[in-house]
Structure 1
Amino acid sequence: MTTTLDTPVLAGEEREARPRRRSPLDRERPAVRVAAWVTIIVFGGFALLPVYWMLATALTPDGKVFAYPPALFPADVTFEHFASLAGNSQLFDYLVNSAIVSGVTAVLSVIVSAYMAYSFSKYRYRGRRSLMYLVLSSQMFPQALLLVTLYAVFDAYDLLNTYTALVLSFTTFTLPLCVWMLKGFFDTIPDSLIEAARIDGASQLRIIHSVIVPLSVPGLVAAGLFAFVRGWNDFIFALTLAGPDKQTLPPGLANTYLGEAQTAWPELMAASLVVSLPVVIAFIALQRFLVGGITAGAVKG
């Protein structure tokens, strides 16, 4: 008596022996990778070329800065322009002013925008959507257009040439984007967490401080970093509203190295590179919070 047994292993081996047909996606993958790397290199070079040119200018001796044709790589390298920054005490004063104004602006913007964004995200009341778009529409006006009005208001309250004038003006223009950034982040937080906290007897402020804020650290860091960079890079308001003692780095560098008859380009490039390091270090240290805070509001959970 003989029996026959079907062996599925052989069938599987026959299937494996068959040549796998390549899909159009497989044939396109090498081309897609090459195109992606070319795009990254082109945009990376476009973004980093000005930084490299600043570094090359800062390392070039004064007599060869305006040589023609310009050299892509400086033949003679000098560090005297960076060394001269150490003896410039006024530059350190500008740096301290920028740190104070930018830091206070970041903290104030995060606090105010967090409460506003929570209201827009978790409350439903008449006029909420109109108020949201009204806050966003303030970004449509050129900031220089409002400078005359702000100058008159600060002059009437004797706030010119003070840190308060700079912090209030910077915070005014950073709030709209910070509010919308945090609203998108708060929208991803389930309402069930808030309801559970209410059932446990938590007040509204306790819910915000003990439930919402710990879950929103990436969004708060992203908003704070945006506000900090806004205060660090501003030129026109710091030049107009602050006197020589309270000026920040952008107008301070312009007043120090830019002149009517001559401009010290190597020293200006060296100083610009040095004062950019705090912002670069902040971005590197907080990049994971920054990416999470910006992208969290893009997809609702």
Structure 2
Amino acid sequence: MTAAALDRRPYDENDVIDAEPAFSAVLASQPRRRRKAGRSRWAVGITVTVIGLFAFLPLYWLVITSVTPDADVFAFPPRFFPSTFTLEHYVSVFSDPVIFEYLRNSVIVSVITAVLSVVVSMYMAYAFSKFRFRGRTSLMYFVLSSQMFPQALLLVTLYVLFAQFGLLNTYQALVISFTTFTLPLCVWMLKGFFDAMPDDLIEAAKLDGAGHWRTLHSVVLPLTAPGLVAAGLFAFVRGWNDFIFALTLAGPEKQTLPPGLVNTYIGEAATAWPELMAASLITSVPVCVAFILLQRHLVGGLTAGAVKG
């Protein structure tokens, strides 16, 4: 039978498959799917809200306390929305020259720690990644094993060692201790980045007459800028946020911001919480700005070495 004849043939209900049971099953399943999707959205919303409160409520409380008058700071019950605001605590922080001394010490120690950590770790990571020598694997795990020991456990040993060499209450003691603890992670971070770099680039540089030193500085390092930024930012934050080593190894003239703020605003009889919150917020700005400006390089440096190319 031709197609034209089929089109002219009268409609026969036997030629059509009865789809009513299947269609009814689909209709019946739609409410269940909508209820399940609704429960999933509620669960995701509640989870995100709890995580957001856990992450941002302390920051909100820090900001609110820094602009709350002294008379209302210890009001009970606590006020999440103060009726009056003041900037006198920020004025008090900016008018205190000691805070700027601590800020200067933090900048000096953190920048030197970041530069030294990047310089040392990039050579170590490149050697581990592109060279094959006896004891390479053992040495790599030995470097990594240093992260297994609590840093505070080594504080007494470092204190005695620095005292013997006359390095207590100096920038050198802080820089050496911070760099020692940041090197293992920086080395492994950059090693993963170097591992992802094709060996063909290095072989091409060698064919052009470049030695290992020229290859590293002219070919490899320009391509590993995100990894270097990530390692440097990690070392900078490590030096900026440290408390126990800066409190123990540095005297009053060389202390950085974390122990300096504690010694300035926290006393035996009372604590100037509004000034402490204002100072903490001000000193957090440089790190936040650095993360914002270097976010693209930081994410690239942390993820580029995850997949070998």
**Fold in common (TM above 0.5):** yes
Q: How far apart are residue 236 of structure 1 and its match?
A: 0.6
2:162 is aligned with 1:154 = yes
Residues 134-149 of structure 1 aligned to structure 2 (within 5 Å): 134-149=142-157
1:276 aligns with 2:284: yes
Cα distance in 1 for partners of 2:153, 2:274 equals: 33
2:73 is matched with: 65
Which ranges of 4 or more aligned residues in structure 1 deviate by more than 4 Å? 26-38
Distance 1:244 1:177 in 2: 30
TM-score, normalised to structure 1, is: 0.89
Alpha-carbon distance between aligned partners in 2 of 1:210 and 1:150, rounded to the nearest angstrom: 38
Give the AA of the match of 1:143.
Q
- Per the alignment, residue 214 of structure 2 pairs with 206
The answer to whether the aligner puts 1:222 opposite 2:212 as a matched pair is: no
Matched with 1:171 is 179
- With 154-163 and 169-178 compared, the bigger mean Cα shift is at 154-163
Q: Which of 122, 125, 128 is residue 114 of structure 1 equivalent to?
A: 122
Give the number of equivalent residue pairs.
284
Equivalent position of 1:100 in the other structure: 108
1:77 Cα deviation from its structure 2 partner: 1.1
Aligned equivalents of 1:108, 1:151: Cα separation in 2: 21
Which residue in the other structure is 2:255 paired with? 247
**Residue identity opposite 1:184 in structure 2:** G
Find out whether 1:182 has 2:190 as its counterpart: yes
Larger gyration radius, structure 1 or structure 2: 2
Determine the structure 1 residue equivalent to 2:240: 232
Q: Matched residues, percent identical?
A: 68
Q: Does 1:48 align with 2:56?
A: yes
Deviation readout 1:175-230 (Å, 9 max, x if unpaired): 01101111111111000100110111101010110111000000000000000000
RMSD of the TM alignment (CA)? 2.2
Separation in structure 2 between the aligned mates of residue 189 and residue 156 of structure 1, nearest angstrom? 44
Distance 1:112 1:34, change over 3 A: farther
Matched, 1:291 2:291: no
Please list every run of 5 or more consecutive structure 2 residues that lacks an aligned counterpart in the other structure. 5-22
Cα distance change of structure 1 residues 131 and 34 upon mapping to structure 2, 3 Å threshold: farther
Structure 1 letter corresponding to 2:100: F
SS in 2 for 1:137: helix
C-alpha displacement of 1:83: 1.2
Q: Give the direction of change, closer, same or farther, for the CA distance of 1:295–1:32 in structure 2 (3 Å limit).
A: farther
Verify: 1:77 aligned to 2:95, yes or no.
Answer: no
Match of 1:264 in 2: 272
The verdict on how the C-alpha distance between 1:287 and 1:60 changes in structure 2, with shifts beyond 3 A counting, is same
How has the CA–CA distance of structure 1 residues 36 and 198 changed in structure 2, closer, same or farther, with 3 Å as cutoff?
A: farther
Q: Distance in 2 between matches of 1:124 and 1:33?
A: 52
In 2: Cα distance, 1:209 partner to 1:29 partner? 54
Unaligned 5+ runs, structure 1: 5-18
- State the match for 1:300 in structure 2: 308
